[in-house]
Amino acid sequence: MTISAMASSSSGRRGATRQKVFEAAVALIAEQGFSATTVDEIAERAGVAKGTVYYNFASKSVLFEELLRHGVALLTASLSGAAEESARAGGSQVDALDAMIGAGLGFIERYPAITTMYVSELWRANNDWTGVLRVVRQDAVAVVEKVLAAGVASGEFSGEMDVPLTASAMIGMVLVVALDWRTFQPDRSLADVHAALSLLLQGRVATRR
């Protein structure tokens, strides 16, 4: 095996290990919170040695920050992709927002533990993650703000709209409704929940003609 092949193999193994640690940490933190989760528990859940966790992440705090950034980056990419696909199909800005609602619900259905972890820490008073949470939250909100601002500029949405606050409200609505759905109404389909939020969007965001 060549040196480059060995390096590639080593990088692949480390990536797989980090992913296992990520998944274990997300599940545990979603279940019991950051403070109550220990590195020993993360290592046991991931099936690796405690030293392996520290080899890949300098501390539990560093691991959690990376988890937050990774999870919200996935959500942001889903929202952006949905908006771009809607635009390519010739949809309106309301269509783009509706597509992002669907993408957000789909993300939460695929990654419920990431969402639970993010929301629990986002609204936990006096946590250590305010700075990181502010940054990653703004990344997701900015995607929605862009569509809302375009709708205001085109006249599709009311010029009186508070774009930043409306964008935050939409993100919060999707997160809270989705968590309620997954926890208390799991028998409802994603399409059913999406349809209900679509009606709310059409009635409250679009300019009445």
What is the Rg, in whole angstroms, of the alpha carbon atoms belonging to the chain? 20
Residue with tokens 């533990």: 113
CATH class in words for 1-57:
mainly alpha
Q: Please give the structure tokens belonging to residue 153.
A: 């500029």
Region 132-137: mean pLDDT is: 80
Domain ranges in the chain are 1-57, 60-206
Torsion of CA 49, 53, 55, 61, to 10 degrees: -150
CATH topology of domain 60-206: Tetracycline Repressor; domain 2 (1.10.357)
- What pTM does this model have? 0.80
Largest CA-CA distance found in the chain, in angstroms, rounded: 68
Short-list 87, 112, 111, CA closest to 100: 87
How far is 110 from 30, CA to CA, in rounded Å? 14
Region 191-203: mean pLDDT is: 89
Q: Three-state SS for 155?
A: coil
pLDDT one-digit tens code per residue, 45-87: 999 999 999 998 888 888 888 888 888 888 899 999 999 999 9
Q: Do domains 1-57 and 60-206 have the same CATH topology?
A: no
Short-list 17, 104, 111, CA closest to 68: 111
Phi, psi of 32, rounded to the nearest 5 degrees: -135, 5
